[in-house]
Each structure stands twice: as C-alpha cells, then as structure tokens.
Amino acid sequence: MPAAQKPPEKMMFQLNLRRRGISEQAVLRAMEEIPREMFVEPADRDSAYRDSALGIACGQTISQPFVVAYMTEQLQVQKGHNVLELGTGSGYQAAILSRLCRQVLTIERYRTLADRARRRLEKLGCDNVEVLLGDGLEISAIPGGQFDRIIVTAAIEQIPDALLERLQTGGILIAPVGPHRGTQTLIRTVRTEAGFERRNLVEVRFVPALPGIAREL
C-alpha cells in the first residue's frame, strides 16, 4: 500500500507510544515488527493501529497498543527469561513478548482463541511461544515450574498467592487487579529475597478472568 494511503493511525503508531512515555527501544522495536492487523478481526483491520481496545472472538478484546507496550515495558523482559502469560486472547501480547525473551508459555480458556492465536504465531515464526488451552486460574495445573516474568491480561480481584509463588526471586508480575465490572489497577509485584514488593501503576479496564475451560464457541 503506498505511504499516502496508509491509515493515519499506523503512521502515528510509534510516535504516539513515545509521546505517552514508552522509551524502551526493544519494546518499541517489537511493537513495530509485529503486524497488529493480523491479530484483530477482519472488519477492524483499518483500525488496528488506533490506540484503543478492539473486540475479538468469544466476547474478548485485544488491548490498546499503549497498554500492551506499557505492561511489556514494566515487565523489564530480558533475552534469557521464561515468561508466563495468563489470557492469550488474540496472541498479540505473546507475539510482542516473543521478540524479547527466551520462551513464552501462554494459557487461554477459549479453544477458538487458542487455536487462532497458535496459527497466527506460527505464521509469524514465533517459535518460542507455546499456546495451551487451559484454566489459567488453576495455578497448580500450570506446567513449567517458576518463571522470570508473569503477565496477567484479564482482570483478577486479587493476585493468588499460588501465582506469586511461581515467580523466581527477582521476578516481576504484572496484573490488572480490581472488580470484574469497572476499573482495575495495574499492579507490578517484584519478588525479592525478603518477600514481595507491590507498586500500583495506572488504572485500566480488562475483561474478567474466569475459571474453567470455556465451552466450544
């Protein structure tokens, strides 16, 4: 598509992220490399780079670009890290993380979303992402031991102690915490030798994290 015909949202994509405070070059590069239009519904492709959440299958959403970039930057992911994501959705967040770390394990309760995300990620060559169909709230059933980083991409009313225990010492967990209906607070938790250090970041709105594997859609 000629540059003159590109949606203005795409042309302003990186500039908007920088203006809103995203400064980590590796994160900006990953956001530039991953084609967001692949992860939205066909009818929304012209709006893929707009800084807003968009609906996807199963009544779920793909988060706005700034929130994806902000959460990723706050994770401080490094190349050798193993990352756990709860809530695969479209697979966009996992794709961004795949450019920054060693391995991503992402868990999705909707088979439709898990299958679609897996195909998108394979097409992009994100070979270091494993998509599992499962209940991300059943912490004991999550394989893989401890993780360097954990990201939760659906609203939870509190962070389970069992999930915190899956963090390595020095690890970081990011999650939207608050009521399922309304506004949540994005909380960054760091595991130290002495315990867990929490910091409230920004207010956000996510779809709720629900237990169990969803029925076929």
pLDDT in tens, 90-145: 999 999 999 999 999 999 999 999 999 999 999 999 999 999 999 999 999 999 89
**Structural domain includes residue 28:** yes
Q: Which domain holds residue 33?
A: 3-204
* Residues with a known catalytic role: 63
Task: Say if residues 128 and 108 touch (Cβ distance below 8 Å).
Answer: no
- Looking at the chain, the whole-number percentage of residues with pLDDT higher than 90 is 88
**Structural domain includes residue 177:** yes
pLDDT in tens, 36-79: 999 999 999 989 999 999 999 999 999 999 999 999 999 999 99
Averaged pLDDT for residues 8-30 = 90
User: Structurally, how many domains does the chain consist of?
Assistant: 1
**Structural domain includes residue 215:** no
- Give 215's pLDDT tier (boundaries 50, 70, 90): confident
**Structural domain includes residue 216:** no
**Structural domain includes residue 209:** no
- Mean pLDDT, rounded, of the chain: 93
| Helix, coil or strand: residue 55 | strand
pLDDT in tens, 144-197: 899 999 999 999 999 999 999 999 999 999 999 999 888 999 999 999 999 999
Q: What is the pTM of this model?
A: 0.93
> How far is it, in rounded angstroms, from Cα 113 to Cα 105?
15
| DSSP H or E stretch at residue 184 | strand 184-192
Q: What is the CATH number of the domain that holds 184?
A: 3.40.50.150
| Helix, coil or strand: residue 126 | coil
| DSSP H or E stretch at residue 200 | strand 195-204
**Structural domain includes residue 106:** yes
**Structural domain includes residue 212:** no
